[in-house]
Amino acid sequence: MTIAAIIVAAGRGTRAGGDLPKQWQPLRGQAVVMHSLQTFATLPQIKRIVLVLHPDDLERARALVPASVTLVTGGASRDQSVRNALEALTDQAISRVLIHDGARPLVTHDLITRVIDALSTAQAAAPALPITDALWRGENMAVTGTAPRDGLWRAQTPQGFDFETILQAHRSHHTTDGQAADDVEVARAAGVDVRIVQGDERNIKVTWPGDFARAAEVLQRDAMDIRTGNGFDVHRFCAGDHVWLCGVKIPYARGLDGHSDADVGMHALTDAIYGALAEGDIGRHFPPSDPQWKGADSQIFLKHAVDRVAARGFVISNVDVTLICEQPKIGPHAAAMCAALAQIMGLEIGRISVKATTSERLGFTGREEGIAALATATIVSA
């Protein structure tokens, strides 16, 4: 079975506003029509793609569209545009064809596949959603009546057909009221039964100016990259009169031993951020063999990790640090630690958690030989 896709983008779309036809207006960095084109192009079942265009848009398309896509000039009506595309496929041994509106940029592989699967037992299949809202009739912005919604569906594309069946339906189609609403209407006029498959709420059609913002919001959610990293660090006690923990100097009978200032909490947190970025750990960026980092303030390491997050196009969503020790007591200093980390990282304090636990007198922390820290950091694409 050889499947082709026809993407219809020959209209002018004046209701959408803007200086360009809606299919060529930018949406998250590329033209509206390119979103659906890329979705079809990356589905292995689709062997041919035809893009139907207004004559004025051919040069624009040649600069953007891959050479593997066939460009066809549209007609005076949608019916004629689709027929032009169908005729362009007649010598390519196509068995099934999907016809999609180029103003629906959010079509997914799952939806396309549902339509293709339905064509294994039907001559025609199309996605739709049942109408659940009440229906009114109105005039001059006033309700003049109601209408039953039972059995009513919101039609979507792509609409799929046996190739020869829809080709002959279009060749024989005649209308006295302008043009058919879609290819399902053309098929039904030729006596073809059409199977309904489950549509997709996100598969909106860009029609009005506000639809661009709706589509962009969906694409942003889809594109959001959420990553989580974990960090763990340990430092033993040594002679001293204070420890540094999460950027706060705490008076204590001993200190912590380390190449830098041994801020075990900040080290674990820094490693968690590097982990979320898949960029190793502190040792990769600040080798302990390098004498310049002897006694260094751990803020240097944490700030570097935070800067790497921004450089990679992410933002930090939240961080969580757990200090594991019997002494010193962390509770009285936890708020100050959150405030210090917030200032160093440039985050709202509500996105930072610092807490403590003991190991119930077990292990090296239970014997008060040192302090351990666990940290988790979540970053999201900006």
Residues 188-231: pLDDT tens digits?
Answer: 999 999 999 999 999 999 988 898 888 888 887 777 789 999 99
Per the CATH hierarchy, to which homologous superfamily does domain 226-381 belong?
2-C-methyl-D-erythritol 2,4-cyclodiphosphate synthase (3.30.1330.50)
For the segment(s) 3-223, the CATH number from 3.40.50.300, 3.40.640.10, 3.90.550.10, 3.40.50.720 is 3.90.550.10
Q: For the chain, what is the radius of gyration of the CA atoms? A: 31
> How confident is the model at residue 42, as a pLDDT?
94
> How confident is the model at residue 175, as a pLDDT?
63
Return d(Cα 191, Cα 368) in angstroms, integer.
84
Q: What is the pLDDT of residues 234-252, one digit of tens each?
A: 999 999 999 999 999 999 9
Helix residue ranges per DSSP H, 224-359: 264-276, 282-285, 299-311, 334-345
> How confident is the model at residue 360, as a pLDDT?
94
Flag residues of the chain having pLDDT under 50: none
DSSP-derived 3-state class of residue 13: coil
Query: Rounded to 5 degrees, what are φ and ψ at 221?
Result: -65, -40
* pTM score: 0.66
Letter for the amino acid at 285? H
| All structural domains of the chain with their residue ranges | 3-223, 226-381
> How confident is the model at residue 13, as a pLDDT?
67
Return d(Cα 212, Cα 215) in angstroms, integer.
5
